[in-house]
Amino acid sequence: MALAEEIQGEVLYDVPMAEHTSFRVGGPVDYLVYPVDLTDLQKILRWCGKERVDYFVLGRGSNLLVRDGGIRGLAISLSRGFIRIEELHPERGKGALFAEAGESLGKLVEFTCGRGWAGLEFAAGIPGSIGGAISMNAGAFKGEMKDVLRSVRLMDTSGNVLEKSRVDLLFSYRSLKLPQREIILGGEFQLAPEGKEEVRSRMEEIIRRRAARHPHDLPSAGSIFQNPPQGPAGKLIEEVGLKGTRSGDAQISEKHANFIVNRGKARAQDVLALAEKARETVWQKKGVRLELEIKVMGED
């Protein structure tokens, strides 16, 4: 039986990933599926197992580079059925909430800011989904997702729903280590009640600082490399003279050298060529190995 006949959500075929990533590059994925609830998601995983189809979860595509040949398999988007944000345990005091993985991180930041709950201001202006932010332990301005998480809700490959406490989760810099192909369904957060004006002021200041430093006028996927212990990756790339370097329509940003931007019709191979040039040049001239922060998927 076709997957579309088994679930309530929508199933799309041969979908260009350039339409679903902030880089605006990438070949097609075989299937793109939008489950509407847990039952749909369980049916999708069972179907993938029966048909031997690989799957992955597609967030908002803000930290993803898909190669030009596209992706063989199935992409799952939680952006239609998993977008709930709700306050928890009001009898215990304010600041506890649960947020599902498919909602945008920006919506979560605004939700907490509107209630005067402090702790997520660092995430203001970071694109992407809540699930993606948890998965990569997104952070900035001395804050990370792990700092405000109490637990994470997951689905394993058999469709079982699990809750894992923060203390049982293996977070590191821009990473959360989970068993292969477990899906993040959402997270419980604990924030600190504070005045709305104070929280709003800090959030707006971070947005201003981000806008001043980062190129937002052209498609990109944010920081290409993790910051090594020796200093910011962008500073190292700038110091070796690569700021503004182009490959086709891909360019190392003239505003921030840890961003590669799409100036129109860039291909994934152009982006990867620039990333490799930056990594090799920084290694040769600085003796520092840069590690990718973006996720790269698909075939050449």
Q: Any idea which residues carry the catalytic annotation?
A: 174, 223, 293
3-class DSSP assignment, residue 197: helix
| 277, two tokens | 């040039």
Q: Residue 228: which residues within 8 A CB-CB, separation 6 or more?
A: 236, 288, 289, 290, 291
Nearest CA-CA partner of 111 in 136, 150, 120? 120
**Count of helices and strands (H, E) across the chain:** 7, 20
CA-to-CA distance for 24 and 65, rounded, in angstroms? Answer: 9
For 162, the token pair is 């699990």
Structure tokens at 210: 């981000």
Q: How far apart are CA 278 and CA 251, in angstroms?
A: 11
* Token pair 């977008």 in the structure block, residue: 83
Which burial class, exposed, middle or buried, applies to 289 when counting CB atoms under 10 A from its CB (0-12, 13-18, 19+)?
A: exposed
